[in-house]
């Protein structure tokens, strides 16, 4: 990918710019594996709270699905 910008809404108290994922995706092939690695890197530091831990997996899947649909 030549350039990419990602942001997540509804997973935190404010929109979350996915800088770690963006860095990994720049210059990488637009493949399912690249998308998964980027999502994992972005969400590695995420900490779920009681009642919203599901949002981490939801965000992971949303990143991969969105990138897949755009390629």
End-to-end CA distance of the chain: 10
CA 55 to centroid of chain Cα atoms: 12
The CA distance from 16 to 53, in Å, is: 16
pLDDT higher than threshold 90 for residue 10:
no
pTM surpassing 0.85? Answer: yes
Q: What's the whole-number mean pLDDT along residues 14-28?
A: 95
Using alpha carbons only, give the angle 13, 15, 55 rounded to the nearest 5 degrees.
65
Question: How does pLDDT run across 37-68, given as a tens digit for each residue?
Answer: 999 999 999 998 899 889 999 999 999 999 99
pLDDT higher than threshold 80 for residue 27:
yes
pLDDT of residue 63: 96
């Amino acid at each position: 990918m030549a350039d990419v910008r990602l942001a997540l809404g509804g997973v935190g108290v404010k929109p979350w710019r996915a800088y770690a994922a963006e860095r990994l995706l720049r210059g990488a092939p637009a493949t399912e594996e690249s998308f998964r690695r980027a999502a994992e890197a972005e969400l590695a530091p995420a900490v779920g709270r009681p009642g919203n831990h599901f949002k981490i997996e939801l965000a992971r899947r949303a990143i991969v699905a969105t990138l897949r649909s755009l390629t």
